[in-house]
Amino acid sequence: MSEVKGKIIDGRYKITDILGRGGMSIVYKAISLNLEKEWAIKEITFDSNSDVDFLAEPNILKNLDHPALPRIVDIINKDEKIYIVLDYIDGTNLNTLLNQCTSFQEDKVIGWAKEICDVLIYLHNQKPNPIIYRDMKPGNLMLNKQGHIKLIDFGIAREYKENTEADTVVIGTRGYAAPEQYGNHQTDQRTDIYSLGVTLYHLLTGKGPNDPPYELLPVRSINNKFSEGIEYIIIKCTKQDPHYRYQNVEELLEDLNNIDKLSAEYKIQKRRSKGKFFIASLIISILFVGSGIYKINSVKTGEYLNVLSAGDNNKKSKKYDVAISKYNEAIKQDPKRDEGYLNVAKLYYDTAQFDKLINYLKIEAPKENEKITKNEEYSYLLGLACFAKSDYKGSEENFNNVKSNNFDGIEFYRAISKALNKPGNLSKDDEATKVVSNLRQYIEQQTDAAKRVRGYIMLSDLYAANAQVFDNNIDSQIELLEKAIAQSEDKSNTALYEKLAQAYNAKAFAVADDETQRNKYSNLALNNYKILENLGYETSSLYYNIGNIERTLKNIEEAESYYNKLVKKYPKDFKGYMGLAKLNYDRESKKDAASRDYSKFVENYKLAEQNNSAENNPEINNLKVLYKEIQKQGYIK
């Protein structure tokens, strides 16, 4: 690492870390010198005589625009190397998380599965040729700091061409790859469905396809608490013959959204209800056929609105599940009215459940009430959710369907979406900067504190996601998040403190050359992480971040204390051992050469390596470099 850290690429990007290595490529973490924004840079060394298409990945990604995919912002061809500059995803891959907690709850896995389906549907519907990903596995799924899934590494993705009988190469990750990837067959969208099924199996059970018993068992035989629906879905996804799998991802998503309807009990009840309905219909027909007139009145408007009001009261009391059940009760009373659906969507927005909101309005609500898509409030809420997820193309499309200016901030949201939804790189003098300043004034003028707080958070996320557009973006994030915390009624909102801690940490990194300023912002980050700890937010990442900051501040005993806490609470998480190894190395390196004893460093390095499951983990690779250095110096026999 020492020979590349600080290296400048094309006079614009400074390498700060190594994120991973592959056969012919290295992925760096870098910062742009002029915009102070972090990027991932994939360096590919190519052989001019090779038949490999080294530009296949950038050629696929450069035309894509989806919030779950990294954007390509630059391609540099220089000195027999290709540098692909992509969005840096600040998060953790699911394989690493699996190593920390073994498996995940079913509802969490289903939520991730829906997000993955959304991006696969996008890829599979590309024109003129669908894009087949071909390498779905936990290690290629990143969970970002906002809790959303990002799909990475398009190294073996390909376009599906209808008249081609076979793929050009046979590749994939053994165990996750579909059977057709190992024969003379062409892969299609059913190939991705197979790999997704294996991935869901691994996330649920904690058992990968290459772990004993080396086969995919029905998940309920491993844990009978899993639903019949998820077992059915995984079995269908992973059929050996593609013809017996889901034929497209839309079918799979349909079952994920209606997973309760896949149980045997539901099907029995459905058959019974059909039988009862037939008998009741027959009796009614007999009773009323002579009268010539029969009319069933719909539920009175007053009753419908009373149920909605009960839902709103529960929402105010933060009884969100009860509120949803009341809104659904109203929908059941009159499924052709829009208000019930819109109240559900507003609750999802107010509780920052943007993926649920998008899925609900795009898929679930229109099934029961097709005309709701014509409602301007439907488009407004969908636009807000897309905006919150930095999907500016989606937000612009939806805000353009809102003709009225009676919705809060619509003119600002519409203008910002239009400004940020542009091909190519945005610049600091873009019109977006002017519109955002107007939006900020608008938010400040809101009399409703909850609306102001939501506005501050949204603006902070906007600055974080578009650092190349806005000057002093980290300072703006800090200012807005401080205001949000000060004005929020909920003083236990862990997401706010975590965002603020991350912003202060980023500021400390940005001023790293000035030790006084660095320490100032490191302490502010530390204060907010400590607030999280006091609120009971005890994650491995929290302990690791606190340990790292204490180490930066040279509070060695405090750093060691937090690394040890991490090891005690999460003994299978490599980060605690890695932090201790770094401390051990620092301590011994300060001693005179004859007194150095690196045995503790070696012990913790070995434990970190043993508990790390990620391939080419850059932090483990850094420790490996240190290990080899002291080995060369004769401290390790």
Beta strands in 190-321 (DSSP E): none
Known binding-site positions:
42
Higher per-residue pLDDT: 94 or 493: 94
Q: For residue range 311-364, what is the model confidence (pLDDT) as tens digits?
A: 998 888 888 888 999 999 999 999 999 999 999 999 998 887 888 899 899 988
What is the per-residue pLDDT for 216?
87
Distance, CA of 547 to chain centre: 25
265-306, pLDDT tens digit by residue?
665 555 555 556 555 665 555 445 444 433 334 435 778 888
Model confidence over 409-434: pLDDT tens digits? 888 788 878 877 765 555 555 566 77
Confidence of residue 6 (pLDDT cuts 50, 70, 90): confident
Q: At residue 454, does pLDDT exceed 60?
A: yes
| pLDDT band, very low/low/confident/very high, at 375 (cuts 50, 70, 90) | very high
* 148-157, 271-280, 524-533: least confident range: 271-280
**Does the pLDDT at position 160 exceed 50?**
no
Select the more confidently predicted residue: 178 or 201.
201
> At 22, is the pLDDT very low, low, confident or very high (cuts 50, 70, 90)?
low
Q: Give me the sheet containing 25-32, strands edge to edge.
A: 8-9, 13-21, 25-32, 38-45, 81-87, 72-78
| pLDDT value of residue 522 | 95
Token pair 């038949």 is found at 51
Region of 587 (left: φ > 0; alpha: ψ -120 to 50; beta: rest) is: alpha
Give Cα separations from 307 to 319, 354, 360, 365, 610 (angstroms).
15, 25, 20, 18, 56
The pLDDT of residue 562 is 95
Q: Residue 159 — left, alpha, or beta (φ > 0 → left; ψ -120 to 50 → alpha)?
A: beta
Please give the mean pLDDT across all residues of the chain.
83
Of 35-49, 101-115, 244-258, which gets the smallest average pLDDT? 35-49
pLDDT tens digits along 114-139: 999 999 999 998 887 888 888 899 98
Cβ neighbours for 588, distance < 8 A, ≥ 6 positions apart = 596, 597, 598, 601
Q: Sorting pLDDT into bands at 50, 70 and 90, what band is 165?
A: very low
**Using CA atoms, how far apart are residues 355 and 116, in angstroms rounded to an integer?**
11
Q: Find the range with the poorest average confidence among 2-16, 427-441, 599-613.
A: 427-441
Residue 437 and residue 451 in contact, taking contact as beta carbons nearer than 8 Å: no
User: What pLDDT is recorded for position 49?
Assistant: 57
Nearest to 124 by CA among 250, 246, 244: 250
What angle separates helix 449-465 from helix 494-510, to the nearest 10 degrees? 40
Q: What is the mean pLDDT of residues 85-96?
A: 89
Q: Taking CA 377 as the corner, what is the angle to CA 384 and CA 361, rounded to the nearest 5 degrees? A: 70
Residue 52, pLDDT score = 54
Look at strands 8-9 and 13-21 and give their pairing: antiparallel
41 with 13: CB under 8 angstroms? yes
- Check if the beta carbon of residue 233 is closer than 8 Å to that of residue 204: no
**Which of 312, 316, 368 is closest to 338 using CA atoms?**
368
Percent of the chain clearing pLDDT 70 (strictly above) = 85
- Average of per-residue pLDDT across 484-498: 86
Side chain identity at residue 168, one-letter code: T
- pLDDT value, residue 48: 58
pLDDT value for 435: 76
Q: Where are the beta strands (DSSP E) in 88-177?
A: 91-93, 131-132, 141-144, 149-151, 158-159
More confident residue, 328 or 159: 328
Give me the percent of the chain exceeding a pLDDT of 90.
37
Identify which has the larger pLDDT, 250 or 471. Answer: 250
- Residue 163: which pLDDT band, with cuts at 50, 70 and 90? very low
The arithmetic mean of pLDDT across residues 462-478, rounded, is 81
Residue 291 has what pLDDT?
45
Return binding residues for ATP. Answer: 42
Location of structure tokens 């009001």:
309
CB 569 within 8 A of CB 543: yes
Residue 387 clears pLDDT 90, i.e. is over it: no
Would you say residue 231 has pLDDT above 80? Answer: yes
Per-residue pLDDT band for 505 (boundaries 50, 70, 90) equals: very high
Confidence class of residue 553 from pLDDT cuts 50, 70 and 90? very high
Element (H, E) at 567: helix 556-569
